[in-house]
Structure 1
Amino acid sequence: MPNKQSIATSKWRAKNKEYSAYLNHRSRARSFINKRATLADIEMLEELIEKRKNELKK
């Protein structure tokens, strides 16, 4: 039997699907960088981040 908090969380996620997905992706990216990424991964990600930053500045 689910408790009140898990019911409330489920309702919030249902109402905020896009933002919830954004938070999930952000969390997975941070976790990958902090726990699994190799030096080569980090260097590649730095390049991608620079490209993305330049796109957002336009």
Structure 2
Amino acid sequence: MASKAQLKAAEKWAEKNKDKRKVITYRSYTKKFINELADEKDLDKIIEMVNLRKQSMQKGD
């Protein structure tokens, strides 16, 4: 169990780093979905979405 000081420090970090925490959370959800829940159709759609995103990022360079 975490001490009060650790809990307070974690809460302070989370408040100060909202965007970073959001990225970490979504990345975790994505990995869990891909590894535990997605079927073949879902994986095909994810691959398509990733490829489109990569293409749009390259055009922005």
Q: Same fold (TM over 0.5)?
A: yes
* Residues 1-20 of structure 1 aligned to structure 2 (within 5 Å): 3-20=4-21
Deviation by residue 1:16-45 (Cα, 9 ceiling, x = unmatched): 111111110111001110110101000000
Q: Which amino acid aligns with 2:56?
A: E
Q: Superposition RMSD on alpha carbons, in Å?
A: 1.1
- The equivalent of 1:47 in structure 2 is 48
Aligned length: 57
State the percentage of identical aligned residues. Answer: 32
Aligned residue type for 1:30: K
Specify every segment of 5 or more residues in structure 2 that has no aligned partner in the other structure, as ranges.
none
**4+ residue stretches of structure 1 with deviation over 4 A?**
none
Q: Residue in 2 aligned with 1:24?
A: 25
Structure 1 residue 3: Cα displacement: 2.8
Task: Report the TM-score, using the length of structure 2 for normalisation.
Answer: 0.84
Kindly provide the amino acid, as one letter, of the partner of residue 43 in structure 1: D
Unaligned runs of 5+ in 1: none
